Amino acid sequence: MDDQFYREIYNKHQLVDAVPSNKEITAWALQVIRLLFPEQSKQDYIDFKQVKNEFIRLENELAYILNATRACRDCNNELLAKLFFEEMPDLFRVLNSDIQAIFNGDPAARSEFEVIRTYPGFFAISFYRLAHSLYKHEVPLLPRILTEWAHSKTGIDIHPAAQIDEYFYIDHGTGIVIGESCIIGKHVKLYQGVTLGALSVEKSMAYSKRHPTVEDNVVIYAGATILGGETVIGHDSIIGGNVWLTKSVPAHSTVYHKSEISVFKKKKV
């Protein structure tokens, strides 16, 4: 390799935007989740004042991370951090609704503790809800870092811009994809391998509604693919496994994929 190549790489290093490491950002998010849900940690507090001080510390840490991110240099980062933590009681309430939906919906769940501590669906949802709150405040980059890190841990890919209402239940979860402009109502249940995606990935459609809307009380079974920004799954519908949908279905629908399976008994030789 000649010196020109080394200079090119050196110049890239000088031009790259400053941002704290993914490890630092995700460690902050984990601390927030573990403070809200001590089932995930062993931290002991003497009184509520220590808990209050921990929230204040995490708010200051968020402001520090934002200040260290070049894309946030023109933002009022202390105010953004304050607004984020002012919304924490409602975020906690919504996350508890997700826990309740998972616990009530899964016969295998023995306790809410088990859901909080072990379920990848709750792990991915909790990171999504933190990221979505930051996204609503127009915080750049950090929301994607959080949801993609959760994606790498769980195989569940939720874009932070997606709008997901309360009592959201992901069962098993591996291979789920929820696109940027998805809108999901209350009491929706998704099984593994579900894709809520776009019909087209052309760059010109970046700011349009590309992903489907799923109304309240919908169950979507494993391997279903639902595409398109104009596609609406009406409330109280059931979408069967391996269904491919690119058009809307009315409320109270049942949609299933019909396949022919033949079973032959082996002949003894």
Question: Tens digit of pLDDT for each residue in 50-87?
Answer: 999 999 999 999 999 999 998 888 889 999 999 999 99
Q: What is the pTM of this model?
A: 0.92
Q: CB–CB of 122/101 below 8 Å?
A: no
Token pair recorded at residue 268: 């003894």
pLDDT tens-digit profile of 173-214?
999 999 999 999 999 999 999 999 999 777 777 778 999 999
State the Cα–Cα distance between residues 86 and 183, nearest whole angstrom.
Answer: 24
Q: What share of the chain is helix, strand, coil (3-state, %, to 5)?
A: 45, 10, 45
